[in-house]
Chain A
């Protein structure tokens, strides 16, 4: 094997939560060593390897975008090669054209052409994204295949783009007077671009915006309920991935000094996706490993396979395809975790700055103010009336329990109250405003927060990060500040808030554990901490005590009493009568979709209709 793989193997792991590895190497030292190796590589290596490393670097930039899109965001694109083409052709046309119109004359050299290329790419990505990203995840890849093919045929047929023979005579890049007309020179620029892209991507993922992005894979319903605009997050990563590709295309055009359509077809786009999968589609540094493996393997197979088969052709695709099937069946995380194990980097545990300024809080409504009110809510599913003319209200500073036997319509009612579903007739008022037709994001904005009957959290993320998603709406720092680490003050405040809520619900010892490693009861408590992190005035809890042990139930009860004391309104749907009766202020009992009783816990327990509903009537 040649140099790139050995270098890739000593990269730091991106997983910041991993800690306690044996090695004393810190991520920073490994990165410094890697940069040093890169810096002297052009001096030592023969031309062939420099060229190879240049291609690996370019491919890794495209693969990096796909890691973000596919591995992290759960979306994919086969059109990345077409975006590379946009970057390459834009600069090719602008820097070789003899007769640019006057208004475009400023863009006639490489650096302005990069800006134009990125702008065009972002525009195309925004259009494609707005067409497909609201739909299920598989429309984006299908849309990008169509886009990739269309663009490829455009490149091949348009006269101004040189048709299939392409455009030549592209000038080299000039950086402050340094003309990069040799592979050894542009090598530095390519790898500098790649490192900056990788580091900013890593920064981005470790931020408020990054948590929203990481919630896209398997946590969209939850993220929306926490106020995350998931369509926007999808768009963000799609545009970033496209711009990485376009920048790679710009470098490619000035490295080759010539462009033609063939490197920008859909099959090349598929190869980029393979690189991301091979490297480990959730790993920023895996993109470099994947690009290295596929590029070198391709080189080797293209020499070797035609001799074996006695015919010329791109037979390496047979091997690549089979390799991909095996990797997806056997090692879905790709090669990166295997490589990272060779040199275990010391993981960095997240530091919580206890001195960070607390996040601002909204004023709690006055005790006794009606927070949530259901007026004559009826919900029909065809002929079935799940909720019939339900009325209830919750006041600030009280805990209301909604109880009833199985099938009474509690969950349907919960969905009406939380805005997940819209009543057939009647209305739900939150602080006097109707919530009908508002998405769960807007409702989160108004100050309502909830837990889920079936726990919805991101099992691979730490407890701290899961709870921090709850505080999403209390931060404002967006993509660029996150990528460039200008968000650290706000991030410290968010993490402090999350840590505070975790301590408060009693999960402090699990702060940095993976959320998926918690017992189910603890995961329910985590959901309460996450809801609290949003600074709500109303908490909707769906069976919070299910799966808890006695002590944990008592602690949860104490917490809820404390929240009530602070003026919060709490509505819970619950089965556990002991838990409910000792805790809540009022009870609403449902049976067959209707309210059959309402009142103080003691009254309700003596109500004959309630006894009949729970214990059966005496015939």
Chain B
């Protein structure tokens, strides 16, 4: 291997690493606020990429009907709650999101001409998929929100397998690759940098900065951080943990879908690709101890680079290499942690 190849591999690694970094940050966030180990994160990536691909083919994606169905189900649960004497306040707003919004979006998709600019397609993809996040929290996690980490984890795994099955139903077994956002090519020395790679890295960096501003400057961001530190304390200060959960899932879904849109032009995405991508985010999140955002992001870059180098040397074993990376991390964490804690 010469220096040029090393540089090219590093460049590839950083591009994928940037996406893993986004996912790792989302995973740490979801775990900190809700104690959910969010295995379905990767499915949002796959759904994002494949929904975008279907829109580009001029088809109405099946994920739209998933949104309509989940919204209707949430509305049904709200209705039952009100029938049983629950508070009516907020029902109208909630019905707006669960019923009116999905139907309006469906009407819009059917009314619109099939060909749209790539930005409109990306916006539509986000509009369809991001609301799935809070709906998923409402339907699957909220009823067991006080359960143990283990129960929440099994729920996550259950959602993951359902979403993979639905992905097969919606998108079929064929993979898709979308056209790049830009055809620009830059060359720096021996490196040829594609416009898409620039897009991925810049968008990831922008999103990370945006998240930092959100958590550091905005009231909601601070409230989420407070919930992550002390759920009951945040609740006593009037910040609902249910709202915190939904908001977190909005962010996680947004990050997942955006990652999917960004990498769709770089690699072929299949209905079940998301799992491995999400797990690589997890490897990074574990490097950060499921607690540290910057270490998780740095870990993600390491995962990306390791993956790209190992696919050069021994491509058949690249997954083995990446997942073995967590072993030294776990050893280190095992050696530095001594006390026995109760798992909640």
Contact mask for chain B residues 307-323; partner A; CB cutoff 8 A; 1 contact, 0 none: 00000000011011001
Rounded to whole Å, the gap between the CB of A329 and the closest CB of chain B is 5
Q: What is the interface residue range for chain A against chain B?
A: 35 or more
Q: Are B169 and A311 in contact (CB under 8 A)?
A: yes
Stretch at the interface among A105-113, A133-141, A242-250: A133-141
- CA distance in complex: A316, B37 (Å): 23
What residues of B have a CB within 8 angstroms of the CB of A320 in the complex? Answer: 158, 161-162
B168 touches which of A149, A221, A315 (Cβ 8 Å): A315
Does B67 have its Cβ within 8 Å of any Cβ on chain A?
A: no
Which residues, 296 to 342 on A, are CB-close (under 8 Å) to B? 309, 311, 313-325, 328-329, 332
Q: Which of B98-151 contact A (CB under 8 A)?
A: 139-140, 143-144, 147-151
Which of B154, B316, B320, B342 contacts A328 (CB under 8 A)? B154
A146 to B173, CA, bound (A): 24
Is there a chain A Cβ closer than 8 Å to B334's Cβ?
Answer: yes
Name which of B84-92, B184-192, B262-270, B278-286 contacts chain A: B278-286
Whether the Cβ atoms of B159 and A149 lie closer than 8 Å is no
Check: B2 CB closer than 8 A to any chain A CB. no
Q: Which of B169, B327, B330 has the most CB of A within 10 A?
A: B330
Whole-angstrom distance between the alpha carbons of A219 and B159 in the complex? 29
B285-300 near A? 1/0 per residue, CB < 8 Å: 0100010000000000
Asked if residues B340 and A136 are in contact (CB atoms below 8 Å), the reply is no
> B149 contacts A153, CB within 8 Å?
no
In angstroms, Cα B98 to Cα A59, docked, is 40
A150 to B319, CA, bound (A): 7
Smallest beta-carbon distance B113→chain A, Å:
29
Q: How far is the CA of A329 from the CA of B144 in the complex (A)?
A: 6
Q: Contacts of A267 on B, CB cut-off 8 Å?
A: 161
Query: Contacts A74-B148, A130-B334, A131-B330 known; A313 to B173 CB distance under 8 Å?
Result: yes
Query: In the complex, A273→B155 CA distance in Å?
Result: 11
Q: Which residue of the partner chain, among A149, A154, A311, contacts B279 with CB atoms under 8 Å? A: A149
Complex interface: chain A residues within 8 A of B319 (CB): 149-150, 153
Partner of A325 from the list B140, B317, B323 (CB cut-off 8 Å) is B140
- Tell me which residues across on chain B come within 8 A of A270, comparing CB atoms: 157, 160-161
What are the interface flags for A145-173 relative to B under an 8 Å C-beta threshold, 1 for contact and 0 otherwise? 11101100110010000000000000000
- Complex Cα distance, B290 from A274, in Å, reads 25
Q: Which of A136, A139, A321, A323 has the most CB of B within 10 A?
A: A321
Q: Is B331 at the interface (CB under 8 A from chain A)?
A: yes
Q: Are A76 and B154 in contact (CB under 8 A)?
A: yes
- Given A136-B343, A139-B286, are A314 and B162 neighbors across the interface (CB < 8 Å)? no
Q: How far is the CB of B332 from chain A (nearest CB, A)?
A: 10
> Do A132 and B169 have beta carbons less than 8 Å apart?
no
Known contacts A131-B331, A142-B282, A224-B340: A317-B161 contact under CB 8 Å:
yes
A469 to chain B, nearest CB (A): 15
Contact B150 A321 (CB under 8 A): no
Q: Could you tell me how many residues of chain B have their Cβ less than 8 Å away from some Cβ of chain A?
A: 51
Chain A contact residues: over half helix, strand or loop, or mixed?
helix
**Contact of B173 with A317 in the complex, beta carbons under 8 Å:** no
* Dominant SS among interface residues on chain B: helix
The reply to whether the CB of A462 lies closer than 8 angstroms to some CB of chain B is no
CB distance from B307 to the nearest CB of A (A): 13
Q: Does A183 contact B (CB under 8 A)?
A: no
B282 engages A137 (CB within 8 Å): no
Contact for B286 among A74, A142, A219, A230, CB less than 8 A: A142
Asked whether A76 and B153 contact (CB < 8 A) given A136-B341, A267-B161, A313-B173, the answer is yes
Please give the distance in Å from A212's CB to the nearest CB on chain B: 13
Question: Taking CB as reference atom, which chain B residue is nearest A131?
Answer: B330
Chain A residue numbers with a CB within 8 Å of B163 are: 321
Residue of A with least CB distance to B328 = A131
Query: Would A145 and B153 count as touching, CB distance under 8 A?
Result: no
- Closest Cβ of chain A: how far from B28's Cβ, in Å? 13
Are the C-beta atoms of B282 and A135 separated by less than 8 Å? no
Closest to A127 in B: B327
Q: Does the CB pair B165–A321 fall under 8 Å?
A: yes
Smallest CB gap from A320: residue in B: B161
By a CB distance below 8 angstroms, the chain B residues around A142 are: 37, 282, 286, 326
The yes or no answer to B68 lying at the interface (CB within 8 A) is no
What residues of chain A lie closer than 8 Å to B279, measured between beta carbons? 145-146, 149
Q: Which residues does chain B contribute within 8 Å of A324, judged by CB atoms? A: 154-155, 157-158
By the criterion CB–CB under 8 Å, are B159 and A325 in contact?
yes
- B180 close to chain A: CB less than 8 A: no
A-B contact pairs, 24 of them (CB 8 A): A136-B149, A136-B341, A137-B150, A138-B153, A139-B333, A141-B37, A146-B323, A147-B323, A157-B317, A220-B341, A221-B340, A267-B161, A311-B172, A315-B168, A321-B159, A322-B158, A324-B154, A324-B155, A324-B157, A325-B139, A325-B140, A328-B147, A329-B140, A329-B144
A134-B337, A329-B143 known; 10 new pairs, CB 8 Å cut-off, are A142-B286, A143-B326, A220-B342, A224-B340, A313-B169, A317-B162, A320-B162, A321-B163, A325-B140, A325-B159
Top 8 closest pairs, chain A to chain B, by CB = A321-B162, A324-B158, A318-B165, A317-B165, A146-B323, A137-B343, A157-B316, A317-B161
Using a CB–CB cutoff of 8 Å, the interface residues on chain B facing chain A are 37, 139-140, 143-144, 147-151, 153-155, 157-166, 168-169, 172-173, 276, 279, 282-283, 286, 290, 316-317, 319-320, 323-324, 326-327, 330-331, 333-334, 337-338, 340-343
